[in-house]
Structure 1
Amino acid sequence: MHNFQPKTLFLGKKTIYLPSCHSTNDIAAEIIQNKQVFDGTIVITSDQTAGRGQRGNSWEALPGQNITASFILKPAFLSATEQFRLNIAISLGIYEFLSQYLPNNLKVKWPNDIYVGDRKMGGVLIENTLFGSRIAYSVIGIGLNINQLSFAETNNRAISLRLATQNLGEFDIEKLIGELCVSLEKYYLQLKNGHYSKQKETYLEILYRYQETHFFSKNGERFLGKIIDIAPTGHLIMSVNGEIEFFDFKEISFEI
């Protein structure tokens, strides 16, 4: 990562590479606390020993085989109530980046997991710092399975880019991160320039199980539901037994 120079305006122009660390999101948060931060700074590691995902889950990643990075942004143009807009923009950036290698069967699972078919390739953990009613800083942790060929038996739904493409050789991680930066910056700047409505429309088009009836579970109980929209707050809007219901993050689980 010593010669890492993505073809971007600002994202990734300052990169902090750590051969090993517990969590890139935690390191990014420490940088923000010390006020030594440039917009678009990236913290990258080859070996993340305590990566975190949504719901407090751990993130399994073998050293040197995947993308484990955190991106620091200053989206002061967003209010606290508009946080999910950033979530959508980041999801679209990741989707576009991966689409050049996986043109089919790629989806975003609400709120921001990356799926190939019914198998998970990656996830995002966004942690925001507020200043009054605005978002002062966002730390966007991204974990994407790239070259890893085997996963724990308890993680049998995981998949990597190499497995999904049946690529015989390893992908160049540094090159991929550069491409990811370009796509993320593109959709972030679109959002900043007021294109939220179009981004939400695209997000729904690529949303896993959108407008499909499937089983979900809440508090251990299964139910049939259909995803019909996403609320401005990020809540999942579903049709359940003919009624419209709203679900918060961590409130329901998708059943495979």
Structure 2
Amino acid sequence: MHNFQPKTLFLGKKTIYLPSCHSTNDIAAEIIQNKQVFDGTIVITSDQTAGRGQRGNSWEALPGQNITFSLIVKPDFLNANEQFKLNIAVSLGIYSFLNQYVADKLTVKWPNDVYVSDRKMGGVLIENTLSGSRIAYSVIGIGLNINQLSFSETNTRAVSLRLATQSLDEFDIEKLIGELCESLEKYYLQLKNGHSLRQKEAYLEILYRYQEYHYFSKNDTRFLGKIIDIAPTGHLMLEVNGEVEYFDFKEISFEI
């Protein structure tokens, strides 16, 4: 799991492999606190026992069957109020990587879950450390279901790459991690070189349920809305009853 050699400039050149750990994001945060940071460092594990997702959700992953790692980068070219630009770049990197294998019905669900049809294949948790008005470090935690064929009864909408492609053979996870690193670095460097507007346009093109009317819920209230844009702050912009409303990450839920 730690012998992959991505064809990158910096991302993944330094790898910290842990056979088992509670959370790669937590380990990456400790590295930053100890000031032992090499830009592009990856903390990877075969068995993450307490992985986290958006909204404080846990992440289910059987040992050795999926991709679970955290990436440390130094996006000091971004202001604190531009955090969602990094979210977009990471989402595009993951989408582009997976698109080689499962192009049909692959989307990104706001803010950064990976979906095939209405089933979740993976997600991202980005945690930033600020220095004044700039982002000093970002820990990008990525979990992707790869070879797992069964999930718990409470996780009925999960899907893996193997299930989505109906592959009889297991995927080589080390090979996939190398490819993912290459794709992530490509879009990260695009962002660094000032292509955030183009990236946002590409993000909207692959956004789950973009420009479609669907039901959402907020505070146990169900309503009909249409995703029309993403605000610079990362807020989801919905058209609801002819008016534009803005929603933060933990304010709204998608109904299936």
| TM-score higher than 0.5 | yes
Aligned residue runs from structure 1 range 13-32, under 5 A: 13-32=13-32
Task: Give the deviation of 1:2 after TM superposition.
Answer: 4.0
* 2:162 corresponds to 1:162: yes
1:89 alignment partner, SS class? helix
Q: Which residue of 2 aligns with 1:149?
A: 149
* 2:189 corresponds to 1:189: yes
The 1:2–1:214 alpha-carbon spacing in structure 2 relative to 1, beyond 3 Å, is closer
Determine the C-alpha separation between the residues in 2 that align with 1:184 and 1:92. 8
Kindly provide the amino acid, as one letter, of the partner of residue 200 in structure 1: K
Aligned residue runs from structure 1 range 121-132, under 5 A: 121-132=121-132
Task: Give the deviation of 1:14 after TM superposition.
Answer: 0.1
Aligned residue runs from structure 1 range 228-247, under 5 A: 228-247=228-247
Aligned residue runs from structure 1 range 53-92, under 5 A: 53-92=53-92
Determine the C-alpha separation between the residues in 2 that align with 1:53 and 1:211. 26
Q: Which residue of 1 aligns with 2:106?
A: 106
Structure 1 stretches lacking a partner, 5+ long: none
Task: Give the deviation of 1:4 after TM superposition.
Answer: 2.1
Kindly provide the amino acid, as one letter, of the partner of residue 179 in structure 1: E
Determine the C-alpha separation between the residues in 2 that align with 1:202 and 1:132. 30
Determine the C-alpha separation between the residues in 1 that align with 2:188 and 2:44. 19
Kindly provide the amino acid, as one letter, of the partner of residue 91 in structure 1: S
Task: Give the deviation of 1:89 after TM superposition.
Answer: 0.1
Kindly provide the amino acid, as one letter, of the partner of residue 139 in structure 2: V
Determine the C-alpha separation between the residues in 2 that align with 1:21 and 1:221. 38
Determine the C-alpha separation between the residues in 2 that align with 1:192 and 1:2. 27
Task: Give the deviation of 1:104 after TM superposition.
Answer: 1.2
CA deviation vs aligned residue, 1:26-85 (integer Å, no higher than 9, x gap): 000000001111000000000000000000000000000000000000000000000000
Determine the C-alpha separation between the residues in 2 that align with 1:127 and 1:177. 21
Task: Give the deviation of 1:3 after TM superposition.
Answer: 2.4
Q: Which residue of 2 aligns with 1:48?
A: 48
Q: TM-score of the superposition, structure 2-length normalised?
A: 0.99
1:153 alignment partner, SS class? coil
8 Å CA contact 2:65, 2:147 repeated in 1: yes
Determine the C-alpha separation between the residues in 1 that align with 2:201 and 2:29. 32
Structure 2 stretches lacking a partner, 5+ long: none
Q: TM-score of the superposition, structure 1-length normalised?
A: 0.99
Q: Which residue of 2 aligns with 1:200?
A: 200
Q: Which residue of 2 aligns with 1:97?
A: 97
1:97 alignment partner, SS class? helix
2:154 alignment partner, SS class? helix
8 Å CA contact 2:3, 2:174 repeated in 1: no
Determine the C-alpha separation between the residues in 1 that align with 2:106 and 2:4. 27
Determine the C-alpha separation between the residues in 2 that align with 1:207 and 1:3. 34
Aligned residues: 256
Q: Which residue of 1 aligns with 2:220?
A: 220
Kindly provide the amino acid, as one letter, of the partner of residue 85 in structure 2: R
1:102 alignment partner, SS class? coil
The 1:2–1:220 alpha-carbon spacing in structure 2 relative to 1, beyond 3 Å, is closer
8 Å CA contact 2:93, 2:184 repeated in 1: yes
CA deviation vs aligned residue, 1:204-242 (integer Å, no higher than 9, x gap): 000000000000000001000000000000000000011
Aligned residue runs from structure 1 range 162-181, under 5 A: 162-181=162-181
Determine the C-alpha separation between the residues in 2 that align with 1:167 and 1:9. 32
* 2:8 corresponds to 1:8: yes
